[in-house]
C-alpha cells in the first residue's frame, strides 16, 4: 500500500487522496463506509454538474483540448490544472479523447501530471482527469496511488480498475482493491479481473467475487463463464468458501434478466446446480446460506425447466435435495431465529415464498401471494 502520508497544511482543503487514505487507515482490511462519501469537495458539487453531451462520442473532447494546450507549454505545471475541469462534464470511465491527449505528449510528463492531480487534487473533477492520464501511462510505481484513490470506488473505481488492469502484477493489485470495495466499485474491479482471465484471478473469482450486493448480478454469469466454474466443480469437495460463492452465483443468475447471464442462457446450469445441491448441505447453516438455498428452491418451484437451465428430471431432483437440506433440524432452527430477529430475508420467505414451497421453518405462516 501507499507509504505517502497526508501533507495538507492546517486550514487547507483536504485532498481526495488524503481523505481516502485516512478512512483506509481506520480499517485497513475493510470497505470504506458509504464508499467514502461525503467527499471533502461535496460543497462545491452540491448542485448537479454538467450533463453528458447528447453526442456521447464528443464527451471528453473539451478536456482533451485543455490538456493539449497545457502540454504545449513546456513550463506549465500540473498545479495549473487543479481547477481547470470543474465546470466540464468529466467522464468517470476510460475515454478515448483523454487517452489520446495523454498519448500525444511525452509519457513521463503525462505521468507526472496524472500523479500530481491524483495525489494533490482537492476537486473530484481534476482527480478524475489525473486518474484518466494514469490509466494510459501509469507504471507499477503508481499502483499504491491508484489503489488508494480507487477505494473511493463509486466514482474512481472504473479508471482505477483500468489503470491496474494494464500493469504487470495487476491481478494482485485488483484483488487487493476488490476485497475493499462494494457496490458499483466492485462491479468495475471484478469485471477487470474477468477480462484478465488469469489463473490467480480465476481462483479468487470462484471463491470471493460475490459479496451479497444485488449489483453482483451484473458480473455473476461472467464470473461463472470466465472462471470456468463447471471445470472446477471437483474442488467443491474440500472448499466451503467455493461452495458458498457458487450458491451466490447461482442465486444471482436465477434472477438477473437484463443485468447479466441467466441460468437459462448459461450452458452449464444443470451440472453446476447438481454439484451445488450435493455440497450445500455439508455447510454449517447460517441465515444467508438458508436464504440462498431457499431462493434457488423457489426458482426451481416456480419456473419451467428451460428457465432454470436443466431438464425436468434434474429440476425435480434438485428441488428434493434442496428441500431436504432446508428442512433439517439445525437449518430450520437457524431460519426461525432469523425470523424472530426480523431478518428481512427470512421475512421475505415467510411472506412471499411460493405457496407450493412448504418449509418446516414456516409451518404456521401461509405466504402472502398478493402483490
Q: What is the pLDDT of residues 89-134, one digit of tens each?
A: 999 999 999 999 999 999 999 999 999 999 999 999 999 999 999 9
The residue with cell 493489485 is: 173
Q: How confident is the model at residue 5 (pLDDT cuts 50, 70, 90)?
A: very low
Work out the average pLDDT over 63-87: 97
Per-residue pLDDT at 186: 97
Sign, Cα dihedral of 153, 159, 164, 165:
positive
Eight-state DSSP code of residue 205: H
Q: Rounded to 5 degrees, what angle do the CA atoms 142, 147, 150 make?
A: 125
* CA 303 to chain CA mean position, Å: 28
Per-residue pLDDT at 369: 57
Length of the chain in terms of residues written: 371
- What is the largest distance, in Å, between two alpha-carbon atoms of the chain? 78
Work out the average pLDDT over 56-65: 95
Rounded Cα gap, residues 253 and 265, in angstroms: 9
The count of C-alpha atoms lying within 13 angstroms of the C-alpha of 170, restricted to the half-sphere facing its C-beta, is: 21
**11 has pLDDT over 80:** no
Rounded Cα gap, residues 261 and 253, in angstroms: 6
pLDDT tens sequence across 150-195: 999 999 999 999 999 999 889 999 999 999 999 999 999 999 999 9
Share of the chain above pLDDT 90, in %: 87
Higher pLDDT, 239 or 47: 239
Higher pLDDT, 48 or 315: 315
Tell me the helix, strand and coil percentages in the chain, rounded to 5.
65, 0, 35
Per-residue pLDDT at 368: 64
**3 has pLDDT over 50:** no
Rounded Cα gap, residues 315 and 298, in angstroms: 11
293 CB contacts (<8 Å, ≥6 apart)? Answer: 247, 280, 322, 325, 326
Per-residue pLDDT at 197: 84
**364 has pLDDT over 70:** no
**4 has pLDDT over 60:** no
Amino acid at each position: 500500500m501507499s507509504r505517502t502520508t497526508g501533507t495538507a497544511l492546517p486550514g487547507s482543503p483536504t485532498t481526495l487522496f488524503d481523505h481516502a487514505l485516512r478512512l483506509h487507515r481506520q480499517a485497513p482490511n475493510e470497505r470504506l463506509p458509504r464508499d467514502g462519501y461525503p467527499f471533502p469537495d461535496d460543497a462545491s458539487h452540491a448542485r448537479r454538474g454538467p450533463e453528458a453531451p447528447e453526442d456521447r462520442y464528443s464527451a471528453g473532447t473539451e478536456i482533451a483540448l485543455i490538456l493539449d494546450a497545457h502540454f504545449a507549454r513546456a513550463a506549465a505545471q500540473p498545479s495549473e490544472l487543479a481547477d481547470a475541469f470543474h465546470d466540464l462534464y468529466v467522464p468517470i470511465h476510460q475515454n478515448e479523447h483523454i487517452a489520446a491527449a495523454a498519448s500525444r505528449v511525452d509519457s513521463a510528463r503525462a505521468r507526472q501530471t496524472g500523479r500530481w492531480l491524483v495525489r494533490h487534487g482537492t476537486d473530484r473533477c481534476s482527480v478524475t482527469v489525473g486518474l484518466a492520464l494514469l490509466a494510459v501511462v501509469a507504471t507499477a510505481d503508481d499502483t499504491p496511488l491508484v489503489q488508494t484513490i480507487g477505494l473511493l470506488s463509486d466514482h474512481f473505481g472504473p479508471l482505477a480498475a483500468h489503470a491496474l488492469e494494464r500493469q504487470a502484477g495487476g491481478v494482485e493489485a485488483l484483488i487487493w482493491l476488490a476485497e475493499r470495495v462494494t457496490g458499483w466499485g466492485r462491479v468495475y474491479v471484478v469485471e477487470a479481473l474477468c477480462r484478465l482471465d488469469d489463473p490467480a484471478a480465476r481462483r479468487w473469482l470462484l471463491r470471493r467475487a460475490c459479496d451479497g450486493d444485488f449489483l453482483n448480478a451484473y458480473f455473476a454469469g461472467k464470473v461463472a463463464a470466465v472462471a470456468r466454474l463447471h471445470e472446477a466443480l471437483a474442488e467443491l469437495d474440500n472448499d466451503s468458501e467455493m461452495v458458498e460463492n457458487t450458491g451466490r452465483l447461482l442465486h444471482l443468475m436465477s434472477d438477473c434478466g437484463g443485468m447479466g447471464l441467466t441460468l437459462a442462457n448459461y450452458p452449464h446450469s444443470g451440472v453446476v446446480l447438481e454439484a451445488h445441491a450435493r455440497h450445500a448441505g455439508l455447510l454449517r447453516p447460517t441465515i444467508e446460506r438458508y436464504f440462498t438455498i431457499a431462493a434457488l428452491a423457489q426458482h426451481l418451484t416456480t419456473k419451467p425447466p428451460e428457465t432454470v437451465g436443466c431438464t425436468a428430471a434434474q429440476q425435480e431432483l434438485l428441488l428434493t435435495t434442496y428441500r431436504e437440506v432446508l428442512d433439517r433440524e439445525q437449518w430450520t432452527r437457524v431460519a426461525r431465529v432469523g425470523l424472530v430477529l426480523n431478518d428481512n430475508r427470512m421475512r421475505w420467505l415467510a411472506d412471499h415464498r411460493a405457496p407450493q414451497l412448504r418449509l418446516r421453518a414456516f409451518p404456521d405462516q401461509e405466504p402472502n401471494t398478493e402483490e
